[in-house]
Amino acid sequence: MKIKLIASVSISLLLARWKQTLVAAIGVTFSITMFITLLSFMSGLNDMLDALILNRTPHVRLYNEIKPTKNQPIDQTEKYKQYYNFISSIKPKNDRAEIYNNSAIMQSLKKDNRVLGYAPKIVAQVFYNVGPIDLTGAINGIDVDEENRLFYLSTYVTSGNFIDLKNIPNSIILGKGAAEKMMANIGDVIQVTTTKGERVPLKVVGYFQSGIAEIDKVQSYATIKTTQKLLGESTSYITDIQVKLKDVLQAPAVAKEYQELYQVEAVDVQTANSQFETGSSIRTLISYSVGVTLLIVAGFGIYNILNMMIYEKMDSIAILKATGFSGKDVNAVFISIALSIGIFGGILGLIFGFGLSAIIDQIPFNTASLPTVKTYPINYNPKFYIIGGIFSIVTTYMAGYFPSRKASKIDPVIIIRGK
Amino acid sequence: MSNKILEAKNICKYFHDPTTVQVLDNVSFSIDKAEFVSVIGKSGCGKSTLLYILSTMDTDYQGDLIIDGQVMRNKKEADLAKVRNEKIGFVFQFHYLLNEFSVLRNVMLPGLKLGKYSEQEVEHRAIEKLKILGIENESLKMPNQLSGGQKQRVAIARALINDPLIIMGDEPTGNLDKKNSEIVFQIFKELATVYHQSLLIVTHDNEFAARTNRIIEMEDGRIIKM
């Protein structure tokens, strides 16, 4: 009964100034629309950029770093054990880049149920021979099936078929940039020189385009076997093991564990690509702050309109109070006016925001570096809609709070005597 | 006396701005049920101030106010609002109808606020009150479609909706012409005699006051004749 009464009073006050109310609601609608669109778009973009790097990056990478041992002989002598020794110009000893005992490590990874999968890899420095010129390059020796399953190789092999790499012996998938420099077409045979001076012919079966031009100019893919042959190493030679986990957030802990367990270097994706995390979080921060600013501006609009309404309706408020409405009731009337503006404007804003994102989703977006992206990326995360909805209600409540309090404190005597 | 419905005991009131001035000085009186009382006095003598204290809207005073056996001092704002809603009907010099609502709805509002009856019953009662005042045909109009006299009658109907203990009026005829003043007076008279309604009317119209049961005359914040 009481709620109904307060609602009916609020509604008639709202309708009495429906034009201003509408303007206030449009303000909220506009800001929520922009908030949703901005976040959806920004987060779509973030996801795309993250996918660009993170999808192809192992969650944990195991490798052997070439570096001088931490345990120098001087630290082991009786006499200088207690000292802090400065040694300049230490050189690493002749160590291999190979991971020792890698098949045992891989066996044990297979049993670890946190691991989604792993792919062995060999990184080999080579020169691509173009006539008399040598271009520096790097061949990644990969396990084609696992690489595709875990790191989506096929999505960035833009011409040729990635599976040919496995089926055709001594084949190579060149980076698009490298292929253009060498003017190598699919089916051509190119010459590469290894760091040890051997010259090997390889058949081009495809191009890949990673989205990062610098990488495309240098890198290419071959099978593990081809790479081992190229380097003249045995079939157990592996320089990297790329591990993909079921839960990427566990990566730092797992990396630490593996480092101790297998006595190799292990780097997790968060450390290796911290700049992407930072970039994403800053972009998200910017979109949130723009969205929130828009909402606050809309909130000021509501504040103004309510203040004006209270000023205009001073007499009505006074008489309501004189006839037995308490300050609390008057407060509830104005709060409900503010909230209904917020809810109405907010719901429309959510709908329009969805519509606008859907439109942006249809706009063609073709860029050479992103072969798989055809339209602007949009992330339709329901989280944004929930946040937007909550925010519209919270800001309008805040905007209504002070005017409502002012209205509830109006002293009817002053108004009535003033006439 | 058991049928005292309103009693003021030694009420003093000061205005502090810009300098402290005593507006009411030990005002004490009481009103019995079904009494039609008028308060007269020159302007500035404190009669309106007294009325606002008696109506519980002004709480800044010394002394005691007892309405229906309850002491009003130290009551919370919400409780005072409830007292006003239930026990006091108010008629002002200006009608103070809400222009957003129809006449009927205006009359119903305090009744709906009281929440003692269902909406249908409140509506029924509101129509009855409008009938007493002879304006039931205007019930669906908006207030700004009515004449000044009609508006004031709607305001009286609104004051009556919760069957208050007492109706207080602050110069209810002050804005009306002779004819409408007479109508309003006759209504008050009828309420007092037929419905045994207590009334306390502040006025400076001596002719009006002369026809009431009892006149309280004030001067400089004191009651000089009762």
Q: Give mean pLDDT, residues A332-343.
A: 88
Class of domain B4-99+162-225: alpha beta
CB contact under 8 A, B100 and A15: yes
- Give pLDDT, residue B1: 46
Mind listing the pLDDT tens digit for each residue in A94-112? 667 788 888 888 888 888 8
Cis upstream peptide for B18 (omega within 30°): yes
Residue of B nearest to A16 (CA): B100
- From chain B, pick out residues whose CB is under 8 angstroms from the CB of A318: 96
pLDDT band for A371, please (50, 70, 90 cuts). Answer: low
Residue of B nearest to A15 (CA): B100
Residue of B nearest to A320 (CA): B110
- Give pLDDT, residue A416: 72
Question: Alpha-carbon Rg of chain B, whole angstroms?
Answer: 17
Cβ atoms of residues A374 and A58 within 8 Å: no
Q: What is the pLDDT along chain B (226 residues), one digit of tens a residue?
A: 457 888 888 888 888 878 888 888 888 888 888 888 888 888 878 888 888 888 888 888 888 888 888 888 888 888 888 888 888 888 888 878 888 888 888 888 888 888 788 888 888 888 888 888 888 888 888 888 888 888 888 888 888 888 888 888 888 888 788 888 888 888 888 888 888 888 888 888 888 888 888 888 888 888 887 7
pLDDT at A8 over 60: yes
Average pLDDT, chain A: 85
Give the nearest partner residue to A323 out of B78, B85, B100, using CB atoms. B85
- Give pLDDT, residue A351: 94
In angstroms, what separates the C-alpha of B84 from chain A's closest C-alpha? 5
Q: What percent of chain A is modeled with pLDDT above 90?
A: 11
ipTM, interface predicted TM-score of the complex: 0.83
Give the nearest partner residue to B78 out of A12, A315, A326, using CB atoms. A326
pLDDT band for A171, please (50, 70, 90 cuts). Answer: very high
CB contact under 8 A, A413 and B85: no
CB contact under 8 A, A321 and B100: no
CB proximity list for A197: less than 8 A, separation 6 or greater:
none
DSSP states of A368-412 as a string?
Answer: TT-TT--B------HHHHHHHHHHHHHHHHHHHHHHHHHHHT--H
pLDDT at A408 over 60: yes
Question: What's the length of chain B?
Answer: 226
- From chain B, pick out residues whose CB is under 8 angstroms from the CB of A413: 52, 57-58
pLDDT band for A261, please (50, 70, 90 cuts). Answer: confident
CB contact under 8 A, A324 and B58: no
CB pairs under 8 A between A and B: 82
Query: What are residue A364's phi and psi, to 5 degrees?
Result: -65, 140
pTM for the whole structure? 0.70
Q: Give mean pLDDT, residues A137-166.
A: 86
Per DSSP, A61 falls in state E
Question: Parallel, antiparallel, or unpaired: how do β-strands B166-170 and B198-202 relate?
Answer: parallel
- From chain A, pick out residues whose CB is under 8 angstroms from the CB of B57: 321-322, 411-413
Mind listing the pLDDT tens digit for each residue in A214-236? 888 898 999 999 998 888 888 88
Cβ atoms of residues A249 and A68 within 8 Å: no
Give the nearest partner residue to B78 out of A319, A323, A328, using CB atoms. A328
Residues of chain B in Cβ contact (below 8 Å) with chain A: 48, 52, 55, 57-58, 77-78, 81-82, 84-86, 90, 92-94, 96-101, 109-110, 112-115, 119, 158, 162, 170
pLDDT at A59 over 60: yes
Spell out the SS3 assignment of B48-101: HHHHHHHCCCCCCCEEEEEECCEECCCCCHHHHHHHHHHHEEEECCCCCCCCCC
CB contact under 8 A, A323 and B82: no
Sequence spans of domains, chain B? 4-99+162-225
- Give pLDDT, residue A38: 87
CB proximity list for A13: less than 8 A, separation 6 or greater:
A309, A313, A316, A333, A337, B100
pLDDT at A198 over 80: yes
CA distances B147 to A334, B95, B141, B142, B184, Å, are 30, 11, 11, 11, 13
Tokens of A121: 């890899």
